[in-house]
Amino acid sequence: MLDKPASRTASGPLAGFRIVEFAGIGPGPFACMLLADMGAEVITLDRVGAKKNLKAVAVRGRKVVEIDLKDSAAIAQVLDLLAHADALIEGFRPGVMERLGLGPDVVLQRNPKLVYGRMTGWGQEGPLAQAAGHDINYIAITGALAAIGTKDKPVPPLNLVGDFGGGALYLAMGVLAALLEASRSGKGQVVDTAMCDGAASLMAMFFDLAHSGRWVEGRGNNMLDGGAHFYGVYECACGHFISIGSIEPQFYALLRQHAGLTEDAEFEKQMDRKAWPVLKEKLTQVFKSRTREDWCRIMEGTDICFAPVLTMAEAPKHPHMAARGVFVERHGVTQPGPAPRFSRTPSVIREPEAAEIGEIIAAWKS
């Protein structure tokens, strides 16, 4: 893990782009963190007295302004700021920005080139648009949650599929696509990002597999959901776990070779679903015969498609992650560094700072 002090200098492919973020939780701030890492100047408007923790991971790279959006004079300042911005990102329920006098019609009239990014769980319209929800609810109606877990019940995959995968990443991608289009057309637009939309989009491959008969309902019956013996997680003698993903025949052959299974003819039935339970039990016993450290010595670095299952405390210390500097330390907090990586305009983590909206407006006007 590299200890890289944060910078105050913008670097990255988005250097020079100006984004105004209306403070929220979850996917909106994470998307803005990604954009800030890539060099965008992100101004976060937060409520008066919020006292945002500037050392928090998701706040890195911002200028944070405390402002009362119920004050008409403050709204006038926000409109002045947005007149010189490239993008806006907000994560309120549908209608809130309109009631504040900051809806797309008003803002785009002042700045026709602005990209207006909206982040919600259910979207701007539809029967559930005004309902409260969280990641687990948004992925539940897409088919994703039902497909993840044990045979007994679905298990939430943290909040990675809805909040961050289907939310933040689609928001960032949508805003960037709209900025690219605006650079050609000179016209902005609204980017309606809903976590239920994004999570459903992430399920595209599985709907394709189901249509072709290669995916069946019911957890633990498919190749990628823990059903197959050659794609899953196994406990070792030490109580730790390892993962294997030996899908391709050549990788599966290496698994058999390194696990001492070449003489067991039963393992030739790799794609026979009926054989999977028995083969899985056999592999369970094989992997329990050695420690995780032993299996790493035997399998890591081969084409078996193998990796130890590491905790968050262990991950930064893994030789590969350490060599790439995937994790960095900032203010004593271990955290992921910027991703992806750019060869000519590298991203950097910049220090956030408190700011005054008047100073920013003056700077953006100059």
Residue 134 designated active-site: yes
Which of the following is catalytic: 84, 134, 240, 258?
Answer: 134
Provide CB contacts within 8 A for 87, sequence distance 6+.
Answer: 17, 18, 19, 20, 114, 115, 116, 117, 175, 178, 179
Our measurement of the distance from residue 26's CA atom to the centroid of its chain's CA atoms, rounded to an integer in Å, reads: 10
Could you tell me the two tokens for 122?
A: 């259910």
Strand runs labelled E in 205-350? 231-235, 241-245, 306-309, 327-330, 333-336
* Full strand arrangement of the beta sheet holding 306-309: 231-235, 241-245, 306-309
> Which residue, 80, 22, 76, 40, is CA-closest to 362?
80
Closest of 81, 42, 87 to residue 60, by C-alpha: 42
For the question of residue 163 being annotated catalytic, the response is yes
Residues in the chain, how many? Answer: 366
Active-site residue (options: 86, 163, 192, 225): 163
Burial of 290 (0-12, 13-18, 19+ CB in 10 A): middle
As annotated, the active-site residues are 134, 163
